[in-house]
Structure 1
Amino acid sequence: MRMFLPVFNYACMLILSVITTTFVYTLLFMPSEVGFSYVEMTSVLILIAYVIFAAPIQLVLHRHPKRFRSRDLLVYFIAAWLVCSALALWIDYGLVVFISYKVYLFSFCAALIYWVLDSVFLMKNRP
């Protein structure tokens, strides 16, 4: 059973990250009149973004693991900002993405959430 513990910890970290980031996204970007299906779709897209972009970065950063290292937070923030900016430009949000504080705030929140939960769940027994 011990061999399934890392998988369980990663699944818990990923699920909590997606739920929390979806809540932050809902507060920042969603109008109040949208339905629950919009929230579901947003959480699926955030899950895909975390698995495609954050997980490979996480594997590289875990070569020399250390809990709550600020360098890791900076790497996660830069990656989150690049992904958020690229997606905003792709959906015709325009060049206003580079001056909108909401994109920076959401990128930082997404990186912070993933970084904290990564340090709590996946680096328990490490120095």
Structure 2
Amino acid sequence: MLIEYRADARVSVESAIELYKRSTLGERRPVDRPDIFAGMLHNANLTITAWAGESLVGIARCLTDFTYVAYLADLAVDRDYQRRGIGQRLIQETRQRLERECMIVLLAAPLANEYYPRLGFEANPRAWVLRGG
């Protein structure tokens, strides 16, 4: 099936939550809080989506200044569509919209620790998290 990649698609909160549930990322995101998801979608300033027809099958959601750093907050691909290069292509589509020198930073999900080095990412032991609430 042909996958279409878009940077201009409007993604509903409901379809995003369903995608996250169908990916491994749903275990670590507030899928029971549509209000938070609405903010996540609305406030990301670079979002690339992958579509199989009318179905949302992947998303790369970033916060970025486009020149120095892009924080890839979420990379989610529907389990039924994984291992088809969709995640890799979402990262490529993201990179194409950033300045050449701009780095992409992310926190890997435990199951993705082996995935990112294959795409050229380097591990960095200096990530820190200050949780809210």
TM-score (norm 2): 0.27
Structure with greater strand share of residues:
2
Structure with greater helix share of residues:
1
Of structures 1 and 2, the larger Rg is shown by 1
TM-score (norm 1): 0.28
